[in-house]
Structure 1
Amino acid sequence: MIVQVLAAVLLAATPVHADTGPKVTWTVQPADGGRWIERTLDPGQQVTERLAVRNLGTVPAVFALSAADGYLTDNGHFNMLASDQKSKDGGTWIAVQSSVAVGAGKTQIVPFTITVPAGATPGDHPAGIAASVLSRSGTVQVESRVGFRVMLRASGIEKSQLAAQAVTVHYEQSWNPFRAGTIRAAYTVANTGNVRADARTSVSVGELFGLHHRDGGATAGELLPGGNRPADARVHGVWGLGPVHTRILLTPADPAGPTEVTVWILPWPQLIAVVLLVALLFVLRATRRASRRRLARLLDDARREGQALRKDNPS
């Protein structure tokens, strides 16, 4: 069984070492010293690039070289398919020799070719190149590798666009009648274009029949074509009276326009407060009327007593 230890492909200059056997530490990166290679090529075009494998260890080593399709992990880091997974896109465009021997403290420059298929669709086809070594830990073989991204783009019409999918909107109520609530919008930002996008989103909320507006936002980060990432936005200071309109704006924009969701909200804390206030007013009014009637009865009783006294004691 082979267990892969995959060092961050994005950070090509970070040294990686295999812990078993003689210590081997190495890096691999574009020969020009950059962090990655980025090329826009025509369908059918072939170019030659070079990579540099540097052995930072104290013993010579043989490094396996490989290319594979690239993708983004859930936390947004660039990675490439494991060696036991078959590439179907940009990784198949790269041809590199299978291995290279590098002396201790030495650097080897290795050429590789990129050939764009004649029928390649326009847009991005991310890939990566890695240098790896195999070591053994007991009965388990461990593959340690480090690499860099190769951002390949086939020329043609570029579409940079996003879409909000699986949108849910709900109102988080504050039971303090003097404090506004919060609109929470949860959705998935999907790259529906054919080129990578630095996804940015904003959310606006309109209520009180358009008289009150609040804004919020959330950043989704880098998305490759066909990729998606969950987003969550909260807009505070929303009172929630009747229809509340939530609008999600994406950059790059969705050609279908902003996504809008309307929810009807009853402001229960405020309604309860109003009911209690009205009840209190009725109680105060009833109490005042009862007091007036009692005062009127007392006055009538006093008047009758006075009249009776005058009859009993005529002057």
Structure 2
Amino acid sequence: MHAPTTRWTTRIATVLRTTALSLLAAAAAASLGVGPAHAADGDVAWTVRTASNSYGASRSSYSYAVNPGGTIDDAMMVANRGPVPLNLAVYAADGFTTDAGQLDLFTKDRKSVAVGAWVQADQATVTIQPGKTAKVPFRISVPANATPGDHVGGILTSLTQPDQAEGINVDRRLGIRIKLRVGGELAPHLAVENLHVSYAGTANPFGKGDATVTYTIHNTGNTTLSSKQTVSVSGPFGWLRTGAGEVPAAPDLLPGESWPVTVPVHGVAPGVRLAATATLTPLLTDASGSVSPLPVVRSTTHGWAVPWTLVLLVVVLVAVIVGAVVLRRRNRVRRARREDARVEEAVKQALRAKETRTD
């Protein structure tokens, strides 16, 4: 069985220092066009595309549904568009999602355990004369104990050339994605992990501040999934709810992969105790390329949003009021004491005056 998907080819430039044989830099680019993927640099130029056969013509990438223990035979077409002969290495590699949210392929020195280990080209190298095209057959042998679900990788061509000016070897790679859906029970699932909310208020005691919601999307299922996201924060009992606005969709995550998310939420009222909620709508792409939403995944956490400026203002006002009450009571006591002393003195004077008249 097979199912073509939208074109996806990958191009990677990996720079290795010749003296130390250590990695200096790597750059990648993905081609989503209809035509074959193309690599060019000066006099070096070649293209790769899928072969036309029983799996289809003008396919954009390799996509198969296969049972554990099954095999698939297919081919890649490599064309030399430059003026000099090309000697290209051919190998397969597992796929992964980069920090930029793009699908990339392992470099040759990194061990593959799935598609990159299951794909074997008929030849490890191919030599192509200028203007000629070579067919590179390959076989995919899926182990009998392969995990059901999606496995993504690619088949690559590679050209390593020295750069005398920089004193490095430049490894240019060009490949085509391979997506396998191994038969068995599909269990698509995303989880929201490490959900946290923090709050930053303003100097205005009656103003609103900003909240920052962070979490990790973890693909805990066995299928490739993307997701739509919404984030909101609210005060106690759901009062003063504030949404984060449009949150970018998460990229396609392969089974087992995680994606960190940071979402700012502006104009949040300091409700003392905040509730932050992250809601995901997982999106599953089937073999035909259609996308289906799955049941939402929702998680909530709590954090403090204390309006410290307002609290300080209230404390100052309370202190002023308490001070005024205490001062008023002290003044009242002092007046009462003065009045008692005046009365006592008047009584004493009256008694002395009476004693004087009696004598």
Equivalent pair of 2:64/2:180 in contact (CA under 8 Å):
yes
Alignment of 1:122-137 (within 5 A): 122-137=148-163
| Equivalent residue, structure 2, for 1:312 | none
TM-score normalised to structure 1 length: 0.79
The percentage of aligned residue pairs carrying the same residue is 34
Q: 1:262 is matched by which residue type in structure 2?
A: H
| Equivalent residue, structure 1, for 2:143 | 117
Instruction: Give the whole-Å Cα distance in 1 for the aligned partners of 2:200 and 2:59.
Output: 48
Distance 1:18 1:181, change over 3 A: same
Equivalent pair of 1:206/1:245 in contact (CA under 8 Å):
yes
| Equivalent residue, structure 1, for 2:115 | 90
| Equivalent residue, structure 2, for 1:269 | 309
Alignment of 1:292-307 (within 5 A): none
Query: What per-residue deviation string (whole Å, max 9, x for no partner) do you get for residues 203-252 of structure 1?
Result: 12221432322222343222111111210112222212232111111222
| Equivalent residue, structure 2, for 1:309 | none
Alignment of 1:232-251 (within 5 A): 232-251=262-281
Distance 1:151 1:10, change over 3 A: farther
Correspondence for 1:24 among 44, 51, 60: 44
Distance 1:78 1:190, change over 3 A: same
Instruction: Give the whole-Å Cα distance in 1 for the aligned partners of 2:93 and 2:272.
Output: 53
Q: 1:144 is matched by which residue type in structure 2?
A: R
Give how far 1:123 is off.
Answer: 1.1
Distance 1:61 1:219, change over 3 A: same
Q: 2:38 is matched by which residue type in structure 1?
A: P
Matched, 1:8 2:28: yes
| Equivalent residue, structure 2, for 1:289 | none
Q: Secondary structure at the match of 2:31?
A: coil
Equivalent pair of 2:228/2:249 in contact (CA under 8 Å):
yes
Matched, 1:154 2:182: yes
| Equivalent residue, structure 1, for 2:253 | 223
Q: 2:80 is matched by which residue type in structure 1?
A: N
Q: 2:309 is matched by which residue type in structure 1?
A: P
Instruction: Give the whole-Å Cα distance in 1 for the aligned partners of 2:147 and 2:215.
Output: 29
Q: Secondary structure at the match of 2:160?
A: strand
Give how far 1:89 is off.
Answer: 1.3
Equivalent pair of 2:196/2:302 in contact (CA under 8 Å):
no
Give how far 1:130 is off.
Answer: 0.7
Instruction: Give the whole-Å Cα distance in 1 for the aligned partners of 2:60 and 2:25.
Output: 21
Distance 1:257 1:196, change over 3 A: closer
Equivalent pair of 1:124/1:195 in contact (CA under 8 Å):
yes
Equivalent pair of 2:102/2:251 in contact (CA under 8 Å):
no
Distance 1:266 1:142, change over 3 A: closer
Equivalent pair of 1:181/1:236 in contact (CA under 8 Å):
yes
Instruction: Give the whole-Å Cα distance in 2 for the aligned partners of 1:239 and 1:273.
Output: 17
Q: 1:121 is matched by which residue type in structure 2?
A: T
Equivalent pair of 1:159/1:195 in contact (CA under 8 Å):
yes
Q: 2:308 is matched by which residue type in structure 1?
A: W
Q: 1:11 is matched by which residue type in structure 2?
A: S
| Equivalent residue, structure 1, for 2:222 | 194
Matched, 1:66 2:91: yes
- Give the root-mean-square deviation of aligned CA atoms: 3.0
Distance 1:141 1:268, change over 3 A: closer
Distance 1:179 1:35, change over 3 A: farther
Q: Secondary structure at the match of 2:116?
A: helix
Query: What per-residue deviation string (whole Å, max 9, x for no partner) do you get for residues 153-174 of structure 1?
Result: 2111112221222222111112
Query: What per-residue deviation string (whole Å, max 9, x for no partner) do you get for residues 168-202 of structure 1?
Result: 21111122234211221112211111111113322
Distance 1:57 1:109, change over 3 A: same
Give how far 1:10 is off.
Answer: 3.3
Give how far 1:273 is off.
Answer: 4.5
Distance 1:4 1:11, change over 3 A: farther
Q: Secondary structure at the match of 1:10?
A: strand
Equivalent pair of 1:4/1:144 in contact (CA under 8 Å):
no
Correspondence for 2:232 among 198, 204, 211: 204
Give unmatched runs, 5+ long, in structure 2.
Answer: 1-17, 52-56, 284-293, 326-359
Q: Secondary structure at the match of 1:143?
A: strand
Equivalent pair of 1:18/1:144 in contact (CA under 8 Å):
no
Equivalent pair of 2:46/2:82 in contact (CA under 8 Å):
yes
